[in-house]
Amino acid sequence: MYHNYLLISPAKMEAKFTGDAVISTVSYGGAGEVSKSVAVIACTVMAILYVAILYAPTLILRLPPSDSFQSYMIRRFICAGVSSVFSLIACSLILPIQWGKSHFSDVYGIRLDHIWQAVIFPLTLTSLMYAGTLILKLLLLLDSAQEDRENGRSLSLDIIKNAFHEFIESISSMASNISAWRNYFVAPLTEELVFRACMIPLLLCGGFGTYKVVFLCPIFFSLAHLNHLLEYAQRSGSWLKALMTVGFQVGYTVIFGSYASFLFVRTGHLTAPLVAHIFCNYMGLPVIISRRTGMITVASVAGLLGFIWLLFPLTSPHLYNATTDNCMCWHRYCSWS
């Protein structure tokens, strides 16, 4: 699709363990590596652009304000898409991509191979953090069934059919809901493309250590959420409340961003953090404590322990890649077993 590649000679990779991370030292023959300063500047520009372009229709193009929430969101969808495409092209110009030996999409983890592993394993791992929430939903469902029995409505085929129809209707209404498109499709996809697929290869090829990249990339991710500060201040009428809200949001995005970055680096598959992102957006914040029963807390603790126990086994690079040979600098999973 894009032909502006930086042609280089075959890379020679040497992996060396340094304390908490495996760092790949890459030699590109006559071509220079991506410097740390270039990588950081590029990531910063991408983060700023991702937010700034949302205001381009009114501030730069001088378009009139949207006449509806739907048209307002569609404008934002287009802006986010433009920002994502720009970031992908910019990375293709900066990264030492070897034309003819590296598929353009593979650089960004956009792959169809090992797709079911990239969906099932990360989804299973992420759901463990919502063990308390899932148990609470199950208890509410059992309460509803108990209430039906008390009202003389026993479990029957008609009730199951009605529940199924209600589920289908909820999916249909979600498909026509512009906010649902933002939360479960456009925002996860564009954010993962920019803040994972583009930034992580740049930072890895810039020579940053594995764990430094995992924890540095979410900082750029959190910057993209600071634009809500003015919005919250105007809505609440208090800068203190706005700062507390945005501070909590930034903290949450740093935690989730670290997890998503970990998934991307470990698997080399963009689908892994993408499905985790969509699932977390759908579930919201995990329920840890409930006045209803202590079972919720027990389930949350058990889920957390299970998450920690399975974190590395379920993200083993060998589950998501047929080979870990002939890797480039953005393939850090090759040396992170």
Model pLDDT, residue 139: 86
Walk along the chain (337 residues) and give the pLDDT tens digit of each residue: 433 323 333 333 333 333 343 333 333 333 347 899 999 999 999 999 998 898 888 888 888 888 899 999 999 999 999 999 999 999 999 998 876 656 778 889 999 999 999 999 999 999 999 999 999 988 887 777 677 666 666 555 555 666 667 667 777 777 789 999 999 999 999 999 999 999 999 999 999 999 999 999 989 888 777 767 767 777 777 788 878 877 888 888 899 999 999 999 999 999 999 999 999 999 998 988 877 778 899 999 999 999 999 999 999 999 999 877 778 888 888 887 6
Closest CA to 194 of 313, 54, 67: 54
DSSP per-residue letters across 143-171: HHHHHHHHTT----HHHHHHHHHHHHHHH
Active site residues: 191, 225
Q: Are 125 and 304 in contact (CB under 8 A)?
A: no
Model pLDDT, residue 164: 67
Model pLDDT, residue 153: 61
**Helix (H) or strand (E) segment spanning residue 252:** helix 239-267
Tokens encoding 35: 């410097």
Exposed, middle or buried: residue 121 (CB in 10 Å: 0-12, 13-18, 19+)? buried
| pTM attached to this predicted model | 0.83
**Helix (H) or strand (E) segment spanning residue 16:** strand 12-18
Sign of CA pseudo-dihedral 214, 219, 220, 221: positive
